[in-house]
DNA sequence: GACGAAGGCCAAGAAAATCTTAGCCTGACC
DNA sequence: GGTCAGGCTAAGATTTTCTTGGCCTTCGTC
């Protein structure tokens, strides 16, 4: 019953499943994007191949590779779905002009964005939806108007505005700082880690630390915000991100015992999907204005120099 | 459960239903295009409006009118679906390079195309699918590679090649022709009609007929091919279309009793959707070559003049 | 002014598409 | 050689989508 002859088009679901699988090079990733199981993707792709009458993927033992046919149609398909998603985006923007969806790293949402939310809402009368996600969303596919992430470059199809440079340096509660005069003193302290930023301490120590450091204790937190709370509570020393801890430093709840010794990470960027509606521009401008003054880094010497993107 | 907050996109089905409804300006037409019932379209559109949070159509007593929101998003949506359909078209072309789908008016399929099919298949080794439809398909939406219709102009998004001019004139079996020396003689004959070409006789009579004609009898057929069979059988006089009856005239099975008295209708055109794959070009060329010689009109005076495409 | 056709709306149930679960298989990698 | 990741399949469940049938309004016709 498969070569029915009637040129009834394949289902849109199948096309979308194939497009996602082809773009990601695998069912698992495609399934994640579409919020289904890999088996569902596989079924749809198989159906599409049946409709076509020939395979779209070579099933190699270690994964999928597009056939020439598949490779030939993927660009057009992807472009079409991008257009479709763009249409949906403008549709929502037209339908709910006051709604704005922001995606951000959880810690950015908590530490950078949250304090600025009242001001943002006061300035624009917006209904804000905050989406906290560890990975940047696919702006072409998801209904996200803006993103807030650390990154060296803008994702494809987006422009990016640097909101604040990001310098990494140890921070701790004032009571602990008294005992920390030189990096070597960290040997007697508890080092606090964030699980997704495991490299923060190694990077800083590599640049500024004593040769071999064996800290007294270590603790790892799955959320940077919690780690910061622990640091404030005096539990140990955490690597602070200047873009996020500026306010806490200004308030004196945290101090930077080795203030001038920093390493520089990718800056905090505001990601603006291209082709967005005009109502975004003032918001972008406002957020950009917020970036500078309020995220004050504690070292004047670092301020004037504009940040260059690193590979 | 409708304002869920999660920006999950609307279903592709709903988008497609809305797009079709907006394009056609009504659920009924959209339902026809998508092969569902109007109620299904209505449900989907309602769901999309619920997702959006505001209506896309004004429900006026006499029909639907797009709201400003709807009007704002329609172009982008239509373009996206056009792109999607284009992608599917190239997909199928890539997957089955030997397959070609031709849409044609039933009478054209029977009288013009059928005799040429063997030659076409011999020339190109194609798997042909013939789709007979009274109305031209929407080439951007349906998997149709070529169309054969009478028409004054090419549909939007298509180019057209004139295959043959179309002149209308009475035809009948030779035995009947003896009694028809002047148009006034038609008063004693049976006039054969085609139900979709009801205007053929009036048009011809208006141009060439006697003032007031009361034919002896009339008969109407729902298919032109059947009407032609009736004419061949001597049942009456039919308006012949030069593009379709050339062969029958050449064989002598029909004659044109008032040969030089014709009215000209829209020419027979080959419709070529733009953006088609390259494999179409030779087929178009072949069909164009077929148009001239084989569709011989019975009057030499008409032959030499080449037909120019009209706007 | 009654009537029928056309078009849209709705609710309930049917049908179909889609998705998940669970188990199997493969090659890759330690 | 065990484990893991990724793809395949079948069967059954779930969700989405569609149809049916009835109601309502308007419009054009007689």
Q: How many CB atoms lie within 10 A of CB B214?
A: 7
Three-state DSSP at A270 gives strand
Interatomic CA distance for residues A18 and A12, integer angstroms: 10
- Tell whether the model's pLDDT for residue B7 goes beyond 70: no
Q: How many CB atoms lie within 10 A of CB B70?
A: 26
Between B71 and B95, where is the model more confident? B71
Three-state DSSP at A303 gives coil
**Which of A69, A92, A115 finishes a domain?**
A92
Side-chain-facing half-sphere of A53: CA atoms under 13 Å? 14
pLDDT digits 0-9 by tens, B226-258: 999 999 999 999 999 999 998 899 999 999 998
What percent of chain A lies above the pLDDT cut of 70? 89
Q: What is the pLDDT of residue A150?
A: 93
Q: Is B1 contained in some domain?
A: no
Mean pLDDT, rounded, for B62-70: 86
Q: Is A4 contained in some domain?
A: no
Answer yes or no: are the C-beta atoms of A268 and A164 closer than 8 Å.
yes
- Tell whether the model's pLDDT for residue A310 goes beyond 50: no
In a shared domain, residues A135 and A276: yes
Q: Is B245 contained in some domain?
A: yes
Mean pLDDT, rounded, for A185-189: 85
In a shared domain, residues A132 and A180: yes
Q: What is the pLDDT of residue A170?
A: 94
Report residue A91's pLDDT band, with 50, 70 and 90 as the boundaries. Answer: confident
Give the containing element (helix H, strand E) for A124: helix A117-124
**Which of A64, A92, A120 finishes a domain?**
A92
Number of domains composing chain A: 2
Instruction: From the CA of B11 to the C1' of D16: give the distance in Å.
Output: 10
Q: What is the pLDDT of residue B53?
A: 87
Residue A69 to residue B143, Cβ atoms within 8 A: no
- What is the rounded radius of gyration, in angstroms, for the C-alpha atoms of chain B? 24
Report residue B167's pLDDT band, with 50, 70 and 90 as the boundaries. Answer: very high
A63-66/A57-60 β-pairing: antiparallel
Residue A96 to residue B52, Cβ atoms within 8 A: yes
**CATH of residue A300:** 3.40.190.290
Q: What is the pLDDT of residue B211?
A: 67
| Closest residue by Cα to residue B7 from A280, A275, A32, A93 | A93
Cβ-based interface (< 8 Å): residues of B facing A = 5, 7, 9-10, 12-13, 15-16, 35, 52-54, 69, 72-73, 76-77, 79-81, 83-88, 90-92, 94-96, 101, 129, 131, 142-144
| Closest residue by Cα to residue B69 from B54, B59, B51, B47 | B54
pLDDT digits 0-9 by tens, B187-204: 888 999 888 888 888 888
Q: Is B132 contained in some domain?
A: yes
Q: Is A17 contained in some domain?
A: yes
In a shared domain, residues B134 and B144: yes
| Closest residue by Cα to residue A238 from A296, A294, A180 | A180
Interatomic CA distance for residues B23 and B11, integer angstroms: 18
Q: Is B30 contained in some domain?
A: yes
Q: Which residue of A has its CA nearest to B73?
A: A91
Q: Which residues contact B33 (CB under 8 A, 6 or more apart)?
A: B20, B24, B138, B141
Q: What is the pLDDT of residue A59?
A: 86
Residue found under tokens 């099933």: A59
Report residue B95's pLDDT band, with 50, 70 and 90 as the boundaries. Answer: confident
> What 8-state DSSP symbol labels residue A252?
T
Mean pLDDT, rounded, for A104-119: 91
Instruction: From the CA of A273 to the C1' of C29: give the distance in Å.
Output: 39
Residue A278 phi/psi, 5° resolution? Answer: -65, -25
Q: What is the pLDDT of residue B292?
A: 57
Interatomic CA distance for residues B59 and B61, integer angstroms: 6
**Which of A74, A92, A110 finishes a domain?**
A92
Q: Is B310 contained in some domain?
A: no
> What sign does the dihedral B246-B252-B254-B257 (CA atoms) show?
positive
**CATH of residue A21:** 1.10.10.10
Bridge partners (DSSP) listed for residue B168: B241, B263
Interatomic CA distance for residues B116 and B119, integer angstroms: 5
Q: Is B6 contained in some domain?
A: no
Q: What is the pLDDT of residue B291?
A: 64
In a shared domain, residues B83 and B44: yes
Chain A residues with beta carbon closer than 8 angstroms to that of B129: 5, 7
Q: What is the pLDDT of residue A210?
A: 72
Nearest to A53 among B81, B96, B143 (CB): B96
Between A23 and A152, where is the model more confident? A23
Nearest to B91 among A8, A73, A85 (CB): A73
Mean of per-residue pLDDT scores for chain A: 84
pLDDT digits 0-9 by tens, B259-294: 788 999 999 999 998 876 677 888 999 998 876 554
- Tell whether the model's pLDDT for residue B131 goes beyond 80: yes
**CATH of residue B171:** 3.40.190.10
In a shared domain, residues A62 and A109: no
Instruction: Look up the domain containing A234 and give its range.
Output: 97-311
Q: What strands, in cross-sheet order, belong to the sheet with A217-221?
A: A127-132, A99-104, A146-150, A263-273, A158-171, A237-241, A190-194, A217-221
Answer yes or no: are the C-beta atoms of B43 and B101 closer than 8 Å.
no
Between A1 and B95, where is the model more confident? B95
Three-state DSSP at A92 gives helix
* Tokens read off for A156: 């494809």
Cβ-based interface (< 8 Å): residues of A facing B = 5, 7-10, 12-13, 15-16, 52-54, 69, 72-73, 76-77, 79-81, 83-88, 90-92, 94-96, 101, 129, 131, 142-144
Report residue B2's pLDDT band, with 50, 70 and 90 as the boundaries. Answer: very low
Three-state DSSP at B269 gives strand
Task: Name the least confident of A65-79, B32-46, B238-252, B264-278.
Answer: B264-278
In a shared domain, residues B288 and B145: yes
Q: What is the pLDDT of residue B239?
A: 94
């Amino acid at each position: 019953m498969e070569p029915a002859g009637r040129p009834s088009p394949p289902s849109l679901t199948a096309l979308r499943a194939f497009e996602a699988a082809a773009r990601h090079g695998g069912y698992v990733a495609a399934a994640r994007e579409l919020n289904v199981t890999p088996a569902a993707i596989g079924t749809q792709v198989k159906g599409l191949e049946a409709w076509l009458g020939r395979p779209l993927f070579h099933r190699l033992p270690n994964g999928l590779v597009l056939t020439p046919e598949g490779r030939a149609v993927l660009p057009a398909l992807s472009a079409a779905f991008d257009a479709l998603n763009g249409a949906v985006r403008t549709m929502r923007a037209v339908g709910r002009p006051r709604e704005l969806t922001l995606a951000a790293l959880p810690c950015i949402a908590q530490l950078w964005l949250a304090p600025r939310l009242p001001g943002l809402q006061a300035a624009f009368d917006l209904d804000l939806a905050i989406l906290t996600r560890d990975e940047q969303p696919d702006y072409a596919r998801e209904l996200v108007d803006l993103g807030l992430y650390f990154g060296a470059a803008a994702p494809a199809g987006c422009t990016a505005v640097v909101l604040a440079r990001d310098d990494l340096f140890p921070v701790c509660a004032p009571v602990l700082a008294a005992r920390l005069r030189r990096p070597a003193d960290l040997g007697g302290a508890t080092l606090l880690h964030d699980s997704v930023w495991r490299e923060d301490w190694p990077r800083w120590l590599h640049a500024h630390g004593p040769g071999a450091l064996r800290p007294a204790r270590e603790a790892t937190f799955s959320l940077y915000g919690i780690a910061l709370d622990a640091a404030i509570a005096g539990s140990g020393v955490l690597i602070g991100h200047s873009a996020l801890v500026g306010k806490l430093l200004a308030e004196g709840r945290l101090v930077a015992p080795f203030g001038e010794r920093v390493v520089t990470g990718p800056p905090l960027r505001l990601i603006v999907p291209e082709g967005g509606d005009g109502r975004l521009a003032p918001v972008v401008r406002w957020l950009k204005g917020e970036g500078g003054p309020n995220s004050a880094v504690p070292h004047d010497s670092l301020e004037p120099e504009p940040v260059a993107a690193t590979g």
